[in-house]
Chain A
Amino acid sequence: MTDPMYDRNVMQHSSGSAPQPAMAGGMPIGDTSQAELAYEAGVELKARSQWAYVRMRFFRHKLAVASVIVLLLIALVGLFAPQLAPYGYDEINLEAIAMSPTLDGWHIFGTDQLGRDYLTRVMFGIRTSLWVAVMVALLATLIGTAIGAVAGYFGGQIDNLLMRFTDLILTLPGLAVLLTASVYFGAGSPFKTGLILAFLLWTAVARIVRGLFLSLREKEFVEAAKASGAGDMRIIMRHILPNCVGPIVVFMTLVVAVAILLEAALSFLGFGIQPPNAALGSLIDDGQEQGLETWWLVTFPGLVIMLIALCINFIGDGLRDALDPTQRRIRA
C-alpha cells in the first residue's frame, strides 16, 4: 500500500471508497470489464471492414452512384416488361401503323410499320439485351478466371499452352467469327448468341487474372499456406482468388458493356436475335429498313443502348477506384 505507484493508480481509479486493484505499469490486470469497455470503444472507432471502405469510396463517386440508379431502373423495366408494358410485344394494331411518338394511346415511342407499340418493343428489347449481356459477362468471367488462374498459378508449359490459346482467340477477327458462327449454329435465340459472345470475350479476363496470379503466387502468405499443408486447389480458391475479386468485378462490368454493344451490332447485321423476339440491336435494324421518316424506330433503342453502356462504364470506373485499396484520394 505504501508503494507510490500503487497509490497513484488507486487515486486514478477509485472514485468511491474501496481501493480497487488497478493498473500496474500501465497493463490492465484485474479490471477487465473496464478495459473491455475501452477496447470496445476503440473498436467502434476503427472497425470498418474492407468492404465498408469499399462502399464508402464507391458512394463518394457521384457519377457511379447515379449510374447504378439509372441502370437499376432500366434493368427493372426490362425485368418486369411483361407486367409494365402497355401492349403485348407482338401485338399488331393495323389502325396505328408507323405513328410518330404521340400521347394518343400512349405510344410515346411511336409505333412501327405493323402498328406494334414501340415503347413495349424497347422494353422487351432491354429485357433480352440485358439478359444476354449478364449471361455473357458471367460465362466469360468464369472461363477467363479459370484459365487465367490455372495458367498463372502453375506457370511453365501449362501457362504457355493456355496463353497461346488465348492469343489465338484474341487474333480471331471477332465480327467475322460471330457472323460465321451464327450462320452455322443458327443464331436467333438469345442463349446461343450469348454463348458465341462469351467464347470471344473471356480473353481479357484470362490475361488479367493470370497476371494477378503470377504476382500473388510468389507472396509469402501463399508460401505460408503451403507450409501449413494446403493443396494447390485450396490455395487457388481460398488464398489467391479472394485477392483478385476487385479487378475481376471491374472487368466483368466492362464485359457487360462490350457484350451489349456487340450483341446490338450482331442483331443489327441481322445475325443476332431474330424477330419476333426484340433485342435493342434488332430493333434498330428493323427501324433502319424503313428509312429516315420513321426516325423514332432507330433513335429510341439507340439511346437506350448508349445509356446502358455509359452507365456500366461509369460503374466500372467507380468500382475500380473503390476496390483499389492503394487509392487514398477519392475522385469525384
Chain B
Amino acid sequence: MPDPILQLKNLTVEFDTEDGVVHAVTDVSWELAPGEILGIVGESGSGKSVSMMSILGLIPTPPGRIAGEALFKGENLITMPKKRLREIRGGPVAMIFQDPMTSLNPVLTIGNQISEAIKVHNRGISDDDADKRTVELLELVGVPFAERRVRQYPHEFSGGMRQRAMIAMSIANNPSILIADEPTTALDVTIQAQIVEVLKAAQQETHAATILITHDLGLVAELADRVVVMYAGRVVELSDVFAMFDKPGHPYTVGLMNSLAKLDAEQDLLEPIPGQPPSLVTLPPGCAFHPRCQLSQGRAICRTEVPPLRPFAAGVGGHVSACHFAEELTAGRQHAEAAGPVA
C-alpha cells in the first residue's frame, strides 16, 4: 500500500450532555490510500458522520471532545490551528453533504455559491475566471445549459440538479480527499443512479481519495474499494469490498446484508437485525453488539471483553474483524454452503 493520504489513529469523539457522556466515536483507526474509495457503513448513530465532521473541525468543542490523531499528509488535523484547518477544508479536503435541499443557501444563486467556494481558496482570482470555472464545473457534473443555470437560485433546481451543484462545489478546488456524507440518501432511486455516475466522474476528474459515508450497501458495492463497518462508534470490520461481500467477518455485517431485499430470491418478509442500536451513553459492556448478536448465544466473553480488531482465519488481505468468534461465522457459512441451498 502506498503512503496513506489520511490516517486515523485511535480517533475518539465524546459529547458531554445532561444525560451523561455520549460516546459517539471510540478508538477508530484506519488508513486511506491516495485515489481509493473507502466506504463507511453503519446504522444511523454509529458514528460515521461524526468521525468525519470531527476531523474537519466541524464539531463544536465543547460539548464535543476529540482525542486521537487524524494525519492528513502527515499533518494532524485535530491539533492544527484553526486558520490552517480552514485552508484545508474545501481545498484539499472537500465535503459533499447529505441533503442538497438544505445545504445550498436559498438567497444566493448557484453560480454565486460555487464561485464563492473557488474564491475562498484562490485569493486574487478574477471574477471572470471564477465564473468561467463555475460553468466548466457545472458542465462536468452534467448540469445542462450551465451558462444560464448559474444565474438561477436553488429553488429553481431539482433535487438531483442541486446535488450535482453540490458535487461541483466540492470538486471546485481539486481536492485530494472527497468526503461524501450520504450523497444519495435524500434523493429518489432513479436520481440516485445518476448521482452515482456523477460521483464516479468527479472522482475520475480529480483522482481524489473518496470517503463514502452511507448505509446503502448497494452503493458501497458499486463504488467502494474498501469498506469500514461501524457499530456504536467502533469499527467492527474493515476489509476489501469483495472480501466483505464474499465472507463477512462480523455478525453485524451479516445482519446488514440479510436485512436487504434480494432481487434473486423469493422473500415475503425482510429479515431485520433484532433489537435496537444501543444508547451511546450507556453502552453494553464487552462487545456492544452482543445483545443483538445471533452468534454470541450468551457466551460470557462477549459480555465482558471488548473484542479487538484482528485478522481472522478466513480473512484475506487485511480483512480484520472485531468479533471474538469471527471464525465460526465463516465456518458456519461454509457448512451451510456444503449442505446445499435450503429451500
Interface residues of A (CB under 8 A from B): 36, 39, 43, 46-47, 49-50, 219-221, 223-231, 234, 238-239, 242-243, 245
Contacts and interface: CB of A to CB of B under 8 A. Distances in A.
A229 B58 contact: no
B120 interface: yes
Contacts of A220: 97, 99, 102-103
A224 B104 contact: yes
Contact of A226 (B58, B88, B105, B144): B58
A227 B90 contact: yes
Interface in B83-128: 86-91, 94-95, 97, 99, 102-108, 116-117, 120-121
A239 B90 contact: no
A50 B109 CA distance: 10
Interface in B28-59: 56, 58
B102 A242 contact: no
A239 B116 CA distance: 10
Nearest to A48: B156
Nearest to A245: B107
Max chain B C-beta neighbours (<10 A), residue from A46, A220, A224: A224
Contacts of A225: 105, 116
Nearest to A231: B86
A19 B106 CA distance: 45
Nearest to A234: B120
B325 interface: no
A288 to B, nearest CB: 49
Given A227-B90, A227-B95, A228-B89, A221 B120 contact: no
A226 B56 CA distance: 9
Given A43-B148, A49-B153, A242-B108, A228 B103 contact: no
A43 B169 CA distance: 24
Given A43-B148, A49-B153, A228 B105 contact: no
17 contacts: A39-B144, A47-B156, A221-B104, A224-B97, A225-B116, A227-B94, A227-B95, A227-B97, A229-B91, A229-B120, A230-B86, A230-B90, A230-B116, A231-B86, A238-B116, A242-B108, A245-B107
Interface residues of B, number: 32
**Shortest beta-carbon contacts, A-B, top 3:** A228-B90, A229-B90, A220-B102
Contacts of A36: 145
Nearest to B92: A229
A36 B148 CA distance: 11
Max chain B C-beta neighbours (<10 A), residue from A225, A231, A238: A225
A242 B107 contact: yes
Given A221-B105, A243-B107, A228 B145 contact: no
Given A227-B89, A229-B121, A50 B108 contact: no
A46 B156 contact: yes
A68 to B, nearest CB: 24
A47 to B, nearest CB: 8
A229 B153 contact: no
A177 to B, nearest CB: 37
B99 A228 contact: no
A223 B97 contact: yes
Contacts of A223: 58, 97, 103
B38 to A, nearest CB: 18
A46 B90 CA distance: 33
Interface in B111-159: 116-117, 120-121, 144-145, 148, 152-153, 156
A239 B94 contact: no
A230 B58 contact: no
A50 B153 contact: yes
Contacts of B117: 228-229
Nearest to A224: B103
Max chain B C-beta neighbours (<10 A), residue from A39, A43, A219, A221: A221
B103 A221 contact: yes
Contacts of B88: 229
Interface in B150-172: 152-153, 156, 166, 169-170
A22 B300 CA distance: 69
Contacts of A224: 95, 97, 103-104, 166, 169
A243 B90 contact: no
A145 to B, nearest CB: 16
A228 B120 CA distance: 8
B103 A230 contact: no
Contact of A50 (B105, B107, B148): B107
Contact of B105 (A47, A231, A239): A239
B88 to A, nearest CB: 8
Contact of B106 (A229, A230, A243): A243
A230 B82 CA distance: 12
B107 A228 contact: no
Nearest to A46: B156
Contacts of B94: 227-228
Nearest to B107: A242
A209 B170 CA distance: 30
